[in-house]
Amino acid sequence: MVGAISTPVIIEACKKTSMSDGSTSGSGSAGTTASTNGTCTVAPTETEGPFPTKVPASYVRSDITDGRSGYKMTAKITIGNINNNCAALAGAIVDIWHCDAEGNYSEYGGTGMQSTNYQSVHFLRGRQVTDANGLVTFTSIFPGWYSGRATHIHVHVYNSAGVSLNVTQIAFPEGTGTSVALVNGYSKGLSGYTYNNADNVFSDDKTGVQIAAVTGTLTAGFDLTFKLNVKA
């Protein structure tokens, strides 16, 4: 049950005014205060509860698939600290997000009447905190592609206090036998695909420093590994 989760939350640290660490809470619940309503209506007459509990940001999860179908991909990202000879940076917050097999992101407009099922709306987005080896691991699907961009994963690294250290993107290796060739753009194919050397983000990366190592097969799934060094 989600409500029972109570984890030490790193994210807490970046709060300006942090209150309880919230493994438990007082009484009251979402439903029992008719907060906005000074008008003449009935008073609440219900058993108190369920008792709210403090939960980590919903992004904190290793499996970010949320029911999206595609070839399985495990992404192992290691964060190093440039200010410490690129040694492993523990306790860093790592956000990743990427598009689904069709090339769509989990985003909707900020305005209008649109609403979405809250259970799945933030698909293919996740957050992990690096371990002692600077490593985070995500389970996801191999990203699709969309017009104008090579296959990529967005990464945002924060320190443990939530201060932004780096925003970047991870590229994929190309050519015969690579994951990009095997997946073949999913149902779109690769006609019109933008390769790394024509991509407006990756084309200046002449040494391949932004390109991950990706191994695997369609049936077994793919393993992506990437080392990202930040100034912490």
By beta-carbon proximity to another protein, the closer residue of 43 and 132 is: 43
Give the number of other Cβ atoms within 10 Å of residue 66's Cβ: 18
Q: Is there binding between residue 119 and another protein (CB under 8 A)?
A: yes
At 19 the three-state DSSP class reads: coil
Among 202, 228, 222, residue whose Cα is nearest residue 78: 228
Candidates 31-39, 136-144, 172-180, 190-198; binding stretch for another protein (CB under 8 A): 31-39
CB of 164 to another protein, least distance (A): 4
Handedness of CA 226, 227, 231, 232 (dihedral sign): positive
- Phi, psi (degrees; rounded to nearest 5) at 72: -60, 140
The residue type of 110 is: G
* Nearby residues of 146 by Cβ (< 8 Å), 6 or more positions away: 99, 103, 104
Among 12, 102, 174, 223, binds another protein (CB under 8 A): 12
By beta-carbon proximity to another protein, the closer residue of 96 and 214 is: 96
Q: Is there binding between residue 53 and another protein (CB under 8 A)?
A: yes
Q: Is there binding between residue 158 and another protein (CB under 8 A)?
A: yes
Q: What is the CA radius of gyration of the chain?
A: 21
Among 8, 67, 85, 110, binds another protein (CB under 8 A): 110
Among 85, 111, 176, 191, binds another protein (CB under 8 A): 111
Among 2, 67, 176, 207, binds another protein (CB under 8 A): 2
- Cα–Cα distance, 78 to 226 (Å, whole number): 6
CB of 32 to another protein, least distance (A): 8
- Cα–Cα distance, 221 to 232 (Å, whole number): 33
Among 8, 16, 176, 189, binds another protein (CB under 8 A): 16
Q: Is there binding between residue 181 and another protein (CB under 8 A)?
A: no
Among 210, 105, 100, 96, residue whose Cα is nearest residue 155: 96
Among 21, 23, 25, 203, binds another protein (CB under 8 A): 25
Alpha carbon 21 to its chain's center: 24
Candidates 3-11, 78-86, 137-145, 221-229; binding stretch for another protein (CB under 8 A): 3-11
Binding site for another protein (CB under 8 A): 2-3, 5, 11-12, 14-19, 22, 25-39, 41-46, 50-59, 93, 107-111, 113-119, 121-122, 125, 156, 158, 162-164, 167
